């Protein structure tokens, strides 16, 4: 019989602006806080997963933390890496390969590099750097990272009549949540008009359709249900997970209105034994407003082409009290996005299911979904978490 | 004035060396063809479909039966954006400009390119375009697209 797997510890580093901390210091700080949260010690950690921007990052991190793990994972799929890590740790713990795993990420993106990620070299890497192979054909066009998402949004608008106002509403509703989070980068309320009158970075995406650039680190710890019983918090169960990819460079995305989430979402939901309407809270990788909109459709919260209406219906379905409270910590759009955000989604979903989300608590939340998107809508992974294990 | 003046009067004829293509055994024909004014793409003799960028296997059927053909250069805009902010030289001096993903008339092939001569206000999905070659150096050229008149 498969063993049940739980999230038993979460830790956030200081943030969102930490000029005195390196990326690996932020990783260590969040790791320590997750251990304390769980009531575990370093010696309890048998497996480590991480992704950085160079090879062997998880090995260097293990050494830095004083770990000699016997299980390692370093899927490097961009922002979704950590949902892939969770899926793989889930399987490994289920199968009995390892009991207790820490997944760690940290980056001082803002303090080290400034706000240039989205338009500082786009899909091609920084000027003068060797370009990943498909990017050699893309980078000379002058496309930016924001521009790649913008093209996908443009296509959705063309095909389904999605409006700039609907995209903007995602940012507005997310900002309402950030206002409740003292650690969010931007907390002042904004309106749809504010988004639409912020400057266009790459049509149709405005500055306020784009995530923030911050510093930050995050760690979650997974273990078996048996071990979780002795630990500090009510365990949060991993109930299903799936992932996939459709392309690397945006020119190879066959249908810009449909991502690999259309496969990973239903697959993870089926494993968890849930339907979209069962989801109480959605932690969605909001690199850009469009990323949220397309995934509302791909994961089945709204029919294809109707994501825009879903966002604004009922006074705003992503709000607390809406049909699908989304990014209750203020998301990447307003709170925290240190290069990659995937792990922060799992942390927020866990806090909600524990009932620890304070002013942003979704009352009675029992099922949460964390969905990571990496690259240029390239890689997608869905993790379903619940307050109860599967029966 | 060269033939490479964009809609906003910016001259695109010179590009810094770091942007130059680095042709290899696999894609040399694409870059050299562009320098001659030909859009060279791969066609699979097994399934008949085309692909860009050059690869070892056909991405449609998986076979290694690829040959080089010269495409018509005609294409249709699948989607586009107007790049208004790009911090990397020389693009920081070229904004705003349109970048599009286009479907070539040859079945199966999709390509990304800039449309420097297109007024951003005229950009739309479905626009018919043609390849427009802009030399990078003596050996290679970039493939832009321009609206069909």
Q: Which residues of A touch B113 (CB under 8 A)?
A: 141
Q: Do A251 and B87 touch (CB under 8 A)?
A: no
Look at A142 and B84 and tell me if their CB atoms are within 8 Å: no
Closest-CA residue of B relative to A114 is B87
Minimal-distance CA residue of chain B relative to A149 = B81
pLDDT at A391: 66
Across the interface, of B85, B89, B112, the residue whose CB is closest to A119 is B85
d(CA A318, CA A330): 11
**Helix, strand, coil percent content, chain A, rounded in steps of 5:** 40, 20, 40
Residues 6 or more apart whose CB falls under 8 angstroms from that of A325 comprise A280, A281, A282, A318, A319, A362
Identify the structural domains of chain A with CATH numbers, from first to last: 5-112+212-385 (3.40.47.10)
Determine the pLDDT at residue A336: 96
Q: Do A252 and B110 touch (CB under 8 A)?
A: yes
State how far the Cα of A212 lies from the Cα of A333, in Å rounded to an integer: 6
Is B53 within 8 Å of A137 when comparing Cβ atoms? yes
The structure's pTM equals 0.96
Interface contact flag, B85 A202, Cβ < 8 Å? yes
**What pLDDT does residue A125 have?**
45
Give A172 to chain B, closest Cα distance, Å: 23
CB contacts < 8 A, A to B, total 100
Query: Which of A124, A134, A141, A158 should one mutate to test binding to chain B, selecting the residue with the greatest count of B CBs within 10 A?
Result: A141
Please list every residue in chain A whose beta carbon sits closer than 8 Å to the beta carbon of residue B110: 251-252
CB atoms within 10 A of CB B14: 10
Which residues 22-81 of B have a C-beta within 8 angstroms of A? 22, 27, 52-53, 78-81
Low-confidence residues of chain B: pLDDT under 70: 1-2
Tally of CB atoms within 10 A around B57: 13
Report the gap between the CA of B7 and the closest CA in chain A (Å): 15
B123 is written with which tokens?
A: 């950009």
Q: What is the mean pLDDT of each run of 10 residues along chain A (391 residues)?
A: 94 96 97 98 98 90 97 96 98 97 96 76 46 83 96 98 98 98 97 98 98 97 96 96 97 97 98 98 98 98 98 97 98 96 98 97 98 97 94 66
User: What burial class does residue B122 get, using C-beta atoms within 10 Å of its C-beta: 0-12 exposed, 13-18 middle, 19+ buried?
Assistant: exposed
ipTM over 0.85: yes
- The Cα–Cα gap between A290 and A284 comes to 11
């Amino acid at each position: 019989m498969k063993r049940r797997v739980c999230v038993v510890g979460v830790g956030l580093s200081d943030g969102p602006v930490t000029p005195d901390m390196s990326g690996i210091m932020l990783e260590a700080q969040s790791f320590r806080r997750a251990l304390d949260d769980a009531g575990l010690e370093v010696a309890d950690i048998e497996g480590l997963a991480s992704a950085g921007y160079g090879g062997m990052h998880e090995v260097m991190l293990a050494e830095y933390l004083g770990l000699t793990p016997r299980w390692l994972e370093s899927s490097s799929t961009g922002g979704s890496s950590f949902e892939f890590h969770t899926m793989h740790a889930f399987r490994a713990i289920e199968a009995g390969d390892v009991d207790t795993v820490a997944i760690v990420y940290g980056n001082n993106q803002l303090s080290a590099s400034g706000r240039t990620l989205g338009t500082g070299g786009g899909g091609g890497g920084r000027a003068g750097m060797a370009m990943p192979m498909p990017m050699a054909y893309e980078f000379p066009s002058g496309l930016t990272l924001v521009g790649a998402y913008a093209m996908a949004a443009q296509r959705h608008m063309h095909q389904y009549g999605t409006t700039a106002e609907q995209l903007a509403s995602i940012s507005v509703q997310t900002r309402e949540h950030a206002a409740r989070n003292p650690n969010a980068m931007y907390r002042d309320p904004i309106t749809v008009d504010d988004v639409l009158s912020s400057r266009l970075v790459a049509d149709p995406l405005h500055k306020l359709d784009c995530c923030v650039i911050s510093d930050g680190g995050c760690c979650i710890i997974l273990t078996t249900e048996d071990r979780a019983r002795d630990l500090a918090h009510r365990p949060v169960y991993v109930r299903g997970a799936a992932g996939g990819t459709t392309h690397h460079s945006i020119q190879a995305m066959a249908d810009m209105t449909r991502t690999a989430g259309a496969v990973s979402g239903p697959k993870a939901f089926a494993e968890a034994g849930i339907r979209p309407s069962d989801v109480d809270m959605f932690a969605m990788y909001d690199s850009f407003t469009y990323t949220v909109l397309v995934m509302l459709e791909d994961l089945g919260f709204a029919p294809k082409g109707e994501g825009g209406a879903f966002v604004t219906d009922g006074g705003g379905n992503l709000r607390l009290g809406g049909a699908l409270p989304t990014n209750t910590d203020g998301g990447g759009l307003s709170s925290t996005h240190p290069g990659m955000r995937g792990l922060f989604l799992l942390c927020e979903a866990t806090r909600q299911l524990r009932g620890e989300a304070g002013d942003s608590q979704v009352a009675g939340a029992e099922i949460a979904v964390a969905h990571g998107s990496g690259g240029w809508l390239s890689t997608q992974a869905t993790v379903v978490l619940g307050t109860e294990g599967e029966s | 004035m060269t033939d490479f003046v964009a809609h906003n009067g910016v001259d695109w004829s010179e590009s810094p060396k770091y942007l130059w293509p680095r042709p290899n055994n696999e894609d040399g024909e694409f870059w050299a063809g562009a320098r001659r004014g030909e859009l060279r793409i791969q066609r699979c003799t097994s399934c008949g479909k085309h692909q860009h960028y050059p690869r070892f296997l056909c991405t449609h059927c998986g076979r290694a039966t690829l040959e080089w053909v010269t495409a018509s250069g005609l294409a249709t805009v699948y989607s586009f954006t107007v790049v208004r902010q790009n911090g990397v030289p020389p693009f920081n001096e070229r904004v705003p400009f349109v970048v599009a993903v286009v479907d070539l008339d040859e079945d199966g092939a999709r390509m990304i390119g800039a449309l420097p001569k297109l007024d951003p206000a005229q950009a739309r999905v479905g626009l018919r375009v043609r390849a427009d070659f802009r030399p990078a150096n003596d050996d290679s050229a970039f493939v832009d697209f321009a609206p069909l008149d």
